[in-house]
Amino acid sequence: MPDRITLHGIAARGRHGWFAYEQEQGQPFVVDVDLGIDTRPAAASDELSDTVDYGTLAEAVVGIVEGEPVKLVETLAQRIADVCLDDTRVHDVEVTVHKPEAPTTVPVSDVTVTIRRART
């Protein structure tokens, strides 16, 4: 069972959504990323190069959220998971995308989509 590196609350403004006004005006998104990774090499060497640089990963996630608009949060979550799995040290990833200002017909405090992907 791999170790875990988790980033909570990566915040960025994106233009994702089904409705045209969502893509025009944008809105806040918050992302949580949970990586499965063997941290033993980094623990032994005490070198950043032997683990996932979570600062760089957070910047990449922000770049995706602020980047090309998509209609579905599911698509956005998949793009983030793909970037996480680009690092061959990552065994699996869980991505949760929060859309706190999602347009709904009744009040909700948050809408989230969570996906889990593993290296095949």
Structure confidence by residue, pLDDT tens digits, 6-20: 999 999 999 999 999
71 is catalytic: no
What is the DSSP code string of 50-97? GS--HHHHHHHHHHHHHSS--S-HHHHHHHHHHHHHTSTTEEEEEEEE
Task: Determine phi and psi for 99, rounding to 5 degrees.
Answer: -125, 80
* Paired strand residues for 14: 27
Tokens of 35: 């990586």
Read off the pLDDT of each residue in 105-114 and give the average, rounded to a whole number: 96
Tokens of 28: 């806040």
Q: Which of 15, 16, 98, 99 is catalytic?
A: 99
Q: For the chain, how many structural domains are there in total?
A: 1
Range of the domain at 110: 3-118
Each residue's pLDDT tens digit, 37-93: 999 999 999 999 999 999 999 999 999 999 999 999 999 999 999 999 999 999 999
CATH code of 84's domain: 3.30.1130.10
